[in-house]
């Protein structure tokens, strides 16, 4: 048994602990002594105070009440108005996962209900919110995790051993440095390699969906990168340019942990599966398959915002709200027990949107900052939020008046739900006539995931969901789940709004709708997100109006006659002003800033701004450049 576990056991009565294992950075103690399971909590608290680690006490599997009886007991104990759904037992870990419509009621005041369950059944209960919209993807992910319980238990123990069993590299003289394997001077394929004395950590491993050549992927075929040496992968958020390549790592043999928030895990899985589908549909070979995604899922370790976790002997991370999309995180990285603190913003937003609260700016310590610059150029000032919302509603209103259909291509996650909330607000306040708002396939699935994690949403939406006034459940939102339904939406003679992926018209249902709706001048097309160079979306807003599409063996010509709009103020990214304001509020101030995730000219303009305004050393690295932090 590892030394930290030995030390912990020295502080507890002899013989009460039957087994002690790691679950990642957490330490789980098992006891066969049912009294100690209940009474020992105080003693465990004392040990937690000494070691400053998360230590949990659970019943040894041999003393658990049999699941069938335990289930009956649990239903007796939990108050009825909690509305319990599924109850799943994980006997390997002595945990029972209970779904409830009202988790607060199921948990009880200060966990009183959970304590009662433990006392009566010896199971450790975890309460999960039952999503109001059924989400097939969440259910599938849970099945994968459930079926692999034993394997996951072993994996998590191995992760703990790597964290606690001391240094294996110990090249004391090495610098702490970050290398940019993608996403420097560009938007797409974000990938950073963090090297410390002891650790090799990948932060984001994305793909550039606007490209189809080798440059779509992070640059991993370089001497300084060795997949076998990677200790951990961290994914800031679910967008493909940050998460799209992760399953490929598993295809090539990576079997280490992937740290994410729970919504990021679910949404990125959905986007990756969709990516495989889109590749196959266009006759291309995807670089990973569903089995690789499954392997990735078994290796994800889910963290909440503000949950501090060791991931290697000398790296400790904390996720903080980034305000960009559901579950998006800024990653605070504490290196070498006080040696250095790095904040990676991922993609960030610094105003309150309908969907999310703004990014966090207060940290205990901070020396270096890696920040995005999608809208970092000196002219990248977005219109005010309220103006952008008004513009969107106005366009919808006008299109409805001339009996047209409005197509809003979206990235699926983020803008889609923001647009839904803006339209919901306009309709429920009477500002907009009640018309059907069709939510196509994947957008609907991702919306369902949003409703499963209200704790990651804005205070306003969260409160509405808690008060049974869930805006996503409005009756004018209608799901489009198949090609047949899609055709019906197109053919039906009624004004409506259609929200469909992809946002840049690089494939997916939005292109299908465009082909059918594009020639009618009564219809409208509203882009609400960033449009990368070369994409169909960018070409349309640049004025191109005639396109040819390959359809099986035929070529179809489409003339674009519908009204084209690009509403800018709804971006999930901070604009130039917000980035400045973010830095002004950022506390403490970093001594070094590294600007990434933007067209190179924009990153450079942001650098000049930061240097002039904040007198802080600022670097705009190129891909494959390495920046020394310590």
Q: 344: helix, coil or strand? A: strand
Gap between the Cα atoms of 430 and 433, Å rounded: 7
- 23 vs 266 by CB, closer to Zn ion: 266
We find the least distance from the C-beta atom of residue 537 to Zn ion, in angstroms, to be 16
- 313 vs 323 by CB, closer to Zn ion: 323
Alpha helices by DSSP H, listed for 283-363, are 290-298
Assess contact for 413 and 271: CB atoms under 8 A.
Answer: yes
What would you measure as the largest C-alpha separation in the chain, in angstroms?
A: 81
Token code pair at residue 354: 């309908």
Alpha helices by DSSP H, listed for 402-473, are 415-428, 441-452, 459-466
Going along 427-581, which residue ranges are E strands?
A: 437-440, 477-480, 496-500, 524-527, 546-551, 554-559, 563-566
Assess contact for 216 and 197: CB atoms under 8 A.
Answer: no
- 40 vs 412 by CB, closer to Zn ion: 412
We find the least distance from the C-beta atom of residue 68 to Zn ion, in angstroms, to be 45
CB atoms near residue 182 (< 10 Å)? 27
Residue partners of 289: CB distance under 8 A and separation at least 6: 251, 276
- 64 vs 416 by CB, closer to Zn ion: 416
We find the least distance from the C-beta atom of residue 206 to Zn ion, in angstroms, to be 9
**What is the DSSP-derived secondary structure letter of residue 174?**
P
- 256 vs 503 by CB, closer to Zn ion: 503
- 94 vs 243 by CB, closer to Zn ion: 243
- 190 vs 312 by CB, closer to Zn ion: 190
Which residue from 335, 331, 285, 333 is spatially nearest to 314, judged by alpha carbons? Answer: 335
We find the least distance from the C-beta atom of residue 324 to Zn ion, in angstroms, to be 6
We find the least distance from the C-beta atom of residue 450 to Zn ion, in angstroms, to be 16
We find the least distance from the C-beta atom of residue 452 to Zn ion, in angstroms, to be 20
Gap between the Cα atoms of 299 and 313, Å rounded: 19
Helix 262-281 vs helix 441-452: angle between axes, to the nearest 10 degrees? Answer: 170
We find the least distance from the C-beta atom of residue 189 to Zn ion, in angstroms, to be 12
- 246 vs 517 by CB, closer to Zn ion: 246
We find the least distance from the C-beta atom of residue 415 to Zn ion, in angstroms, to be 10
- One DSSP character per residue, 192-255 reads EEEE-SS-EEEEEE---TT--SGGGS----STT--GGG--EEE---SSHHHHTTHHHHHHTT--
We find the least distance from the C-beta atom of residue 104 to Zn ion, in angstroms, to be 31
Cis preceding-peptide flag for 502 (omega within 30 of 0): yes
Assess contact for 107 and 113: CB atoms under 8 A.
Answer: yes
Q: What angle do CA 443, 446, 450 make, to 5 degrees?
A: 130
Which residue from 7, 19, 16 is spatially nearest to 50, judged by alpha carbons? Answer: 7
- 152 vs 271 by CB, closer to Zn ion: 271
Cis preceding-peptide flag for 588 (omega within 30 of 0): yes
We find the least distance from the C-beta atom of residue 286 to Zn ion, in angstroms, to be 21
We find the least distance from the C-beta atom of residue 328 to Zn ion, in angstroms, to be 7
Which residue from 86, 41, 79, 84 is spatially nearest to 59, judged by alpha carbons? Answer: 41
- List residues near Zn ion by CB under 5 A: 239, 347
We find the least distance from the C-beta atom of residue 411 to Zn ion, in angstroms, to be 8
The dihedrals phi and psi of 625, each to the nearest 5 degrees, come to -80, 155
- 197 vs 502 by CB, closer to Zn ion: 502
- 198 vs 347 by CB, closer to Zn ion: 347
Gap between the Cα atoms of 147 and 50, Å rounded: 36
Token code pair at residue 468: 């049974």
- 274 vs 347 by CB, closer to Zn ion: 347
- 208 vs 347 by CB, closer to Zn ion: 347
We find the least distance from the C-beta atom of residue 322 to Zn ion, in angstroms, to be 9
- 128 vs 239 by CB, closer to Zn ion: 239
Token code pair at residue 410: 């979206």
We find the least distance from the C-beta atom of residue 398 to Zn ion, in angstroms, to be 30
């Amino acid at each position: 048994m590892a030394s930290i576990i030995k030390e912990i056991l020295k502080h507890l009565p002899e013989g009460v602990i039957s087994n002690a294992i790691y679950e990642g950075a957490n330490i789980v103690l098992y006891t066969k002594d049912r009294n100690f399971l209940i009474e020992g909590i105080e003693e465990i608290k004392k040990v937690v105070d000494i070691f400053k680690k998360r230590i949990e006490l659970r019943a040894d599997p041999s003393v658990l009440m049999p699941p069938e009886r335990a289930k009956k007991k649990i239903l007796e104990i939990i108050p009825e108005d909690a509305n319990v759904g599924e109850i799943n037992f994980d006997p390997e870990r002595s945990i029972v996962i209970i779904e409830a419509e009202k988790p607060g009621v199921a948990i009880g005041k200060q966990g009183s209900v959970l304590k009662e369950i433990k006392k009566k059944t010896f199971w450790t209960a975890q309460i999960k919110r039952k999503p109001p919209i059924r989400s097939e993807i969440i259910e599938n992910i849970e099945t994968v995790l459930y079926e692999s319980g034993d394997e996951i238990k072993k994996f998590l123990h191995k992760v703990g051993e790597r964290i606690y069993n001391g240094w294996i590299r110990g090249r004391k003289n090495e610098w702490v440095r970050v290398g940019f394997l993608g996403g420097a001077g560009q938007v797409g394929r974000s990938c950073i390699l963090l090297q410390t004395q002891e650790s090799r950590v990948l932060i984001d491993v994305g793909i550039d969906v606007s490209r189809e050549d080798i440059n779509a992927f992070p640059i991993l075929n370089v001497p300084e990168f060795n997949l076998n040496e990677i200790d951990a992968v961290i994914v800031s958020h679910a967008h493909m340019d940050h998460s799209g390549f992760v399953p490929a790592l598993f295809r090539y043999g990576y079997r280490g942990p992937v740290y994410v928030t729970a919504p990021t895990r679910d949404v990125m899985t959905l986007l990756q599966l969709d990516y495989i589908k889109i590749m196959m549909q266009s006759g291309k070979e995807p670089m990973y398959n569903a089995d690789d995604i499954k392997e990735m899922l078994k290796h994800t370790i889910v963290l909440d915002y503000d949950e501090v976790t060791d991931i290697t002997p000398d790296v400790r991370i904390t996720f903080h709200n980034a305000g960009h999309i559901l579950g998006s995180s800024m990653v605070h990285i504490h290196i070498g027990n006080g040696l250095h603190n790095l904040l990676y913003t991922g993609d960030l937003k610094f105003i309150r949107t309908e969907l999310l609260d703004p990014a966090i700016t207060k940290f205990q310590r901070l020396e270096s900052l890696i920040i995005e610059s999608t809208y970092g150029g000196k002219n990248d000032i977005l219109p005010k939020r309220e103006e952008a919302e008004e513009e969107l509603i106005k366009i919808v209103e006008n299109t409805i008046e001339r009996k047209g259909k409005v197509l809003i291509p979206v990235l699926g996650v983020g803008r889609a739900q923001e647009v839904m909330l803006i339209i919901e607000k306009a309709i429920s306040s009477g500002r907009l006539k009640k018309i059907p708002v069709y939510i196509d396939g994947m957008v609907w699935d991702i919306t369902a995931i949003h409703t499963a994690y209200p704790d990651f949403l804005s205070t306003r939406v969260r409160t509405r969901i808690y008060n049974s006034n869930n805006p996503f459940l409005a009756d004018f939102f209608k799901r489009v789940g198949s090609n047949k339904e899609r055709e019906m939406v197109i053919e039906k003679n009624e004004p409506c709004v259609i929200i469909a992926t992809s946002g840049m018209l690089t494939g997916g249902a939005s292109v299908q709708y465009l082909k059918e709706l594009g020639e009618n001048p009564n219809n409208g097309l509203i882009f609400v997100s960033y449009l990368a160079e070369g994409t169909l979306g960018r070409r349309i807003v640049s004025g191109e109006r005639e396109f040819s599409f390959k359809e099986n063996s035929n070529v179809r010509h489409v003339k674009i006659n519908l009204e084209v709009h690009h509403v800018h103020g709804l971006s999930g990214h901070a604009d130039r002003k917000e980035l400045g304001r973010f830095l002004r509020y950022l506390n403490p101030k970093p001594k070094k800033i590294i600007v990434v995730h933007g067209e190179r000219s924009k990153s450079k303009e942001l650098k000049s701004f930061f240097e002039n305004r904040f007198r802080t050393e600022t670097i705009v690295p190129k891909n494959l450049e390495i920046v020394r932090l310590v």
